Amino acid sequence: MTIPTEPSVVEPTPTPEVTSDDRMWVLLSFIFTPIIPVVMMLMEDKKARPFIKYHAVPALILGIAVAVVATLLALIPFVGCITPFLWIIPIVYGIKAYKGVYTDVPVITKFSQDQGWS
């Protein structure tokens, strides 16, 4: 006589949740680019966190793009007055990411994923 056994159920491995530390690092990476994203990519324990890995490269690319556009616009008389407002863009994405949301920066996130960077 055999004892009936329950079918083996493979439980999915839990994905690491987004911690407040992850959210703070991502917020800082959007605001203080390019320094913080580079530091995050060099730290092994931060690279292993999915939330941080997802946002590090887009934050770096966005910060560089905003800096280049702001520099070019600053060279044009009267148009250069709007360059300080360009820095609102990374701050908005940083605040969205701080809420724990996987934030997609248009074009940049897709580009970095297609390249295998994030």
Give residue-wise pLDDT tens across range 76-109. Answer: 888 888 888 989 999 999 999 999 999 899 999 9
This prediction has a pTM of 0.79
CB 44 within 8 A of CB 104: no
Distances (CA, A) of 62 to 23, 28, 65, 76, 77: 18, 13, 5, 22, 24
Per-residue model confidence as pLDDT tens digits over 39-60? 998 998 888 899 999 999 999 9
Q: For residue 52, how many other CB atoms are within 10 A of its CB?
A: 26
Rounded mean pLDDT, 21-31 = 94
pLDDT higher than 60, residue 4 = no
Q: What percent of the chain has pLDDT over 90?
A: 57
CB 23 within 8 A of CB 102: no
CA 18: distance to chain centroid? 12
